[in-house]
Amino acid sequence: MAATLSQADLQGILDFTVALAREAGALILQGSEAIRASGAMDEKKNSVDLVTEYDVRVEELVKSRLSAQYPTFKFIGEESYAAGARTNMTDEPTFCVDPIDGTTNFVHGFPAVCVSIGLIAGRRPVLGVLYNPFLDQLYTGVKGAGAFLAQRGLPATRLPLAKPRPLPSLSQALLGIEWGSDRSADMVNHKGESFKRLAGNPAEGVVGGRMAHSLRSLGSAALNYGMVAQGGLDLYWPWDICAGAIIAQEAGCLVAGSHNSPLDNDVNQAVLEGRKYIVIRAIGDSETEKGVDAQKRLIKEFYATVDDFEPK
């Protein structure tokens, strides 16, 4: 059925999922208010990665609405997946949902939180919706139809928000990074050393230092994708992928897998299931280099700088 999804089909699905994302966003705000009123919170994996009952409630809401509207489509949800439910990827249309991306932010009242709804067809992302109800930010993307940002009731704006600029090196880049929930000594050492080299000044003793403009951590993988898509971040080294990937691709970004993955911007099953990703913003041509060549060069430069390690 994947091959039969037309642009009209995808537009209809987009309209439905946008309305659903806003409904889920209202439930997220309700949960945030309840947390502030009670102070209650439950642990997910450790004290850094917290989640509440609203994570499950939002997923149940989204799943029930999607199942009723699209009963033949498959479903992958972060919470149900974590609880042991598995859906084998096929060519059939499959919704991929993270009900509350940025759960630690959600618990602490930090307003970088969103519901993420992606659609995979033919084993590749074809539609993505990210909605942050705290800031009323709505990112959308449909394969072949572009990516957009609508916020605070204003008309949607095509992404990226400005004409892509050249990016000569990582030293001029604003990089998105995350610590993640695994705080074991091995993981913290790998990431800490990687972040040190990305930020450090080689002229002042940081061996292999790139001295990037700065590092940023929003606490939401999906919103980091949105920020790269709009051009606010130059590159993001994420652990989650689906809705954000198609939004980024439609905004001219290059999305790739691990260190050894081909830089062909094909987010296929191997990339989706690989758990190692990178996304770089649209880059304008310079007098000496095409933008797509700069994207590939900078990804190679980034991967040569950071450690290669297995996420848990």
Annotated active-site positions, please? 78, 98, 100-101, 103, 240
Reported for 274-278, long-range contacts at CB under 8 A and 24+ positions apart, including other chains, are 275/239, 275/311, 276/239, 276/311, 277/237, 277/238, 277/239, 277/240, 277/241, 277/245, 278/235, 278/236, 278/237, 278/238, 278/302, 278/303
Rounded distance between C-alpha atoms, residue 157 and residue 149, angstroms: 5
Residue 269 CA: distances (Å) to CA of 80, 82, 224, 261: 20, 19, 22, 12
* Amino acid identity at 151: Q
| Cβ partners under 8 Å of residue 13, min gap 6 | 5, 70, 119, 127
